[in-house]
Amino acid sequence: MCDVTISNTRVISSSYISTTGGWAAVATVTRGTSLTPTDVVEVAESLTISTGRQVTTYFDWADLAQSPWTAESEIWVRTGDRLGEFIETDVLDDHANWRNIGGSGGVWTDNVATTLAGSAANIDDLVRLARRVIREQNGHNKMTANRLGFVWNPTSFEFLEAFAQANGFESADRALERGLAPQVTYLGAVHYVSNDNAADHVFAGVRKLMRVGILRGTFGRMHRVESPAGDTGGIHSGVAFYSRVDIGTLTPTTYNTILFDVNDSNS
């Protein structure tokens, strides 16, 4: 859903052309006469990789020896799962910088922050509305290139599945037989599911525009510390398993009208 950069650079700089500078202005041209070019204004923007989180678990040597379910491979899998959940949570928590879609009069409405519950009866309306708003915000070309995406909460994804099973012929049969797996393309959009959306919020919009930076030097690194120091002196008789992740997120200003905060009360 996001544009991910894995780098050891702390501040990743970029810029966008401000609309106040007259970008893409169309003017009259007269044969044989000079024309005046329009100056544009570039605005600096940066993504800073500075938010760090760690997961450290400690096992006594005896417990580790007597507990087959705490194999080292399982410890690292669980550690990676927790750090991955943090990345999702941090990205999805940026919803204040996205354009609101909410409920008005019981229907999905653009630029409204009031919550509405997604359901099998209105989930298709939401997908169509998102496409319309993107076109109205001149994002059609980006949507064609990157496709529309949704990161649903589990409840609303269930309603999407119910809609798919109740509509169509061959596609409904497939949905009934197999269900919908996350990262499925349906209704002209790519659908993901996450349990880490902020309460009452779902992420939607054009894919590969929301930016995420991950520090290469710490990402996926696993550290095994035997007999770590005790809190008040001495050493622990065991082993600590440690890993961390450092990230940064950025909603590009030039695209914040085609990234949506869907105010879904199912979250």
Residues 6+ apart with CB under 8 A from 199: 267
pLDDT of 20 strictly over 60: no
CB 175 within 8 A of CB 164: yes
For tokens 């696993």, the residue is 222
pLDDT of 175 strictly over 90: no
Angstrom distance (rounded) from CA 6 to CA 205: 23
pLDDT digits (tens, 9 = 90+) for 134-173: 999 999 999 999 999 999 999 999 999 899 888 865 666 5
pLDDT of 177 strictly over 60: no
Closest of 56, 16, 12, 38 to residue 225, by C-alpha: 56
Task: Return the half-sphere exposure (C-beta side, CA atoms, 13 A cut-off) of residue 144.
Answer: 5
Pairing of strands 11-18, 41-48: antiparallel
Q: Is 191 helix (H, G, I), strand (E, B) or coil?
A: strand
- In CATH, the architecture of 1-11+47-267 is Alpha-Beta Complex (3.90)
Sequence spans of domains, the chain? 1-11+47-267
DSSP sequence for 153-184: -HHHHHHHHHHHHHS-SHHHHHHHHH---SSE
pLDDT of 17 strictly over 80: no
Angstrom distance (rounded) from CA 94 to CA 114: 18
pTM: 0.85
CB 129 within 8 A of CB 158: no
Closest of 190, 215, 201 to residue 83, by C-alpha: 215
pLDDT at 87: 96
Angstrom distance (rounded) from CA 22 to CA 170: 49
- For the chain, list the strands marked E by DSSP: 3-7, 11-18, 41-48, 51-60, 99-104, 107-110, 148-152, 184-186, 189-193, 202-206, 211-215, 223-226, 238-250, 259-262
